[in-house]
């Protein structure tokens, strides 16, 4: 459920309803929700649809302490502003900072708030240094990327914004592990450098390519290896990089290196390279069948290769069924495709292709959920894109 917290004067109203993302039927379902509020005079449970009670003063309201309840809170503008003030003042715990951002992402996905609000909210996390919270920041950035895929100017703004957001932690952590650093910082470095590479600052890209050129794959920091290789593939001038990495993928038995190579080569911007990789998906002498789904998903995530990868899946469905139906993993293809596709045309293609396959019981649920997922995401993109682009124009 979602609990809406609304302040009118000195009266606080809490109202619950079922939380949805995407198309849904109306629901009157209610839950006994443990409020776990930071205000002692609030009740322990919200078991009715709504309650209204006195709430005086200027203190921030926090429900669901320690994120222990299975619900999210939609604070109104005033209550939300109070929490952001505490956030900027460093008064929230790691859990509270991650929880608040996660709630705002879910509310945007569900259409309760605008995704554009995430931009100003992320700006309040500029001093963040906790790896778990940065995990949430990365998810929010990934959500925002969907809104700028077809707008080069807005995408450039988002890249600048992400770089400025990560800059403080990059200056603190750098590229190399520091003596005595925490495990949290070791893991955070990969997230931060990923953000800096997304910003496409020339000096960051140049450093990544230099590291790739002067080290073996085994010598590269495992936390950074896929990022460094991806930079060499996407931005480097050496045309042999992809062939070299694919040869290593075939020769090595190290699954972590194989996984990193997959991420790197499928990130290419070269349409000829991407087409060659897509054609290779059915060649089990090059790509092991247990890795095919990962290669396909990565190619689908790459917008330069998305249409071709999506066409490959439809053209090669008979091969997919022959190869994967026995282990029941062929439902990954409709499921992951729906997670990534995002236009009205692709939705119609999805429906047209998978409609005859719904009769297969092992695919029915994945297809039905995929259609709902796609419909919800497309509606979100169409609704929030103008506001996100407008919000980015400030940076």
pLDDT tens string 214-224: 999 999 999 99
Q: Which domains does the chain have, with CATH numbers?
A: 1-113 (2.60.40.1910)
CB-CB contact of 148 with 391 (8 Å)? no
CB-CB contact of 88 with 20 (8 Å)? no
- Structure tokens, 308: 């071709």
pLDDT tens string 213-264: 999 999 999 999 999 999 999 999 888 999 999 999 999 999 999 999 999 9
CB-CB contact of 95 with 66 (8 Å)? yes
Neighbouring-strand partners of residue 5 = 14, 75
Distance CA 345, CA 352 (A): 11
Beta strands across the sheet bearing 72-75: 50-54, 11-17, 2-8, 72-75
Q: What is the pLDDT of residue 127?
A: 96
CB-CB contact of 114 with 45 (8 Å)? no
**Helix spans in the chain (H):** 77-88, 94-109, 117-123, 131-145, 152-173, 183-198, 202-213, 225-235, 241-251, 255-265, 271-280, 292-301, 306-315, 317-324, 332-340, 344-354, 361-392
Q: What is the pLDDT of residue 342?
A: 95
Q: What is the pLDDT of residue 220?
A: 97
Tell me whether strands 11-17 and 50-54 are parallel, antiparallel or unpaired.
antiparallel
Q: What is the pLDDT of residue 237?
A: 87
CB-CB contact of 184 with 172 (8 Å)? no
Q: What is the pLDDT of residue 21?
A: 86
SS3 call for 16? strand
Torsion, Cα 41 43 48 53, to 10 degrees, reads: 0
Q: Residues for the chain: how many in total?
A: 395
Q: Which residue in the block uniquely carries the two structure tokens 């309760």?
A: 112
What is the DSSP code (8-state) at residue 178?
Answer: P
Instruction: Pick out the chain residues at pLDDT < 50.
Output: none
- Structure tokens, 198: 């997304």
SS3 call for 3? strand
- By CB neighbour count within 10 A (0-12 exposed, 13-18 middle, 19+ buried), where does 186 fall? middle
Q: What is the pLDDT of residue 326?
A: 79
């Amino acid at each position: 459920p979602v609990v809406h917290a609304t302040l009118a004067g000195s009266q606080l109203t809490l109202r619950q309803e079922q939380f949805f993302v995407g198309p849904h039927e109306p629901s009157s379902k209610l839950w006994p929700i443990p409020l776990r509020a930071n205000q002692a005079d609030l009740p322990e449970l919200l078991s009715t649809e709504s309650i209204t009670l006195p709430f005086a003063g200027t203190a921030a309201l926090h429900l669901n302490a320690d994120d222990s309840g299975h619900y999210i809170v939609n604070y109104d503008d005033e209550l939300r502003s109070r929490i952001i003030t505490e956030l900027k003042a460093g008064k929230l715990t790691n859990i509270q900072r991650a929880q608040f951002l996660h709630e705002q992402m879910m509310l945007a996905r569900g259409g309760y708030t605008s995704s554009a609000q995430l931009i100003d909210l992320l700006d309040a996390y500029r001093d963040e240094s906790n790896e778990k919270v940065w995990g949430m920041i990365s998810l929010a950035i990934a959500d925002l990327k969907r809104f700028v895929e077809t707008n080069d100017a807005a995408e450039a703004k988002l890249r600048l914004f992400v770089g400025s957001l990560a800059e403080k932690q990059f200056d603190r952590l750098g590229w190399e592990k520091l003596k005595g650093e925490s495990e949290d910082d070791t893991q955070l470095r990969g997230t931060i450098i990923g953000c800096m590479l997304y910003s496409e600052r020339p000096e960051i890209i140049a450093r990544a390519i230099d590291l790739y050129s002067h080290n073996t794959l085994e010598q590269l920091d495992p936390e950074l290896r896929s990022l460094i290789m991806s930079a060499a593939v996407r931005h480097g001038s050496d045309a042999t990089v992809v062939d070299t990495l694919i040869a290593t993928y075939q020769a090595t038995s190290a699954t972590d290196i194989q996984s990193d190579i997959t991420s790197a080569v499928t990130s290419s911007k070269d349409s000829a390279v991407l087409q060659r990789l897509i054609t290779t998906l059915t060649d089990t002498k090059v790509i092991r069948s247990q890795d095919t789904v990962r290669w396909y998903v990565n190619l689908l995530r790459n917008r330069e290769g998305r249409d071709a990868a999506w066409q490959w899946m439809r053209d090669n469905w008979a091969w997919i069924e022959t190869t994967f139906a026995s282990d029941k993993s062929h439902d990954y293809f409709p499921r992951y495709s729906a997670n990534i596709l995002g236009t009205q045309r692709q939705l119609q293609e999805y429906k047209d292709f998978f409609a005859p396959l719904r009769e297969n019981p092992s695919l029915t649920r994945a297809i039905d959920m995929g259609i709902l997922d796609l419909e919800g995401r497309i509606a979100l993109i169409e609704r929030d894109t103008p506001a996100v682009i407008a919000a980015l124009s400030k940076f």
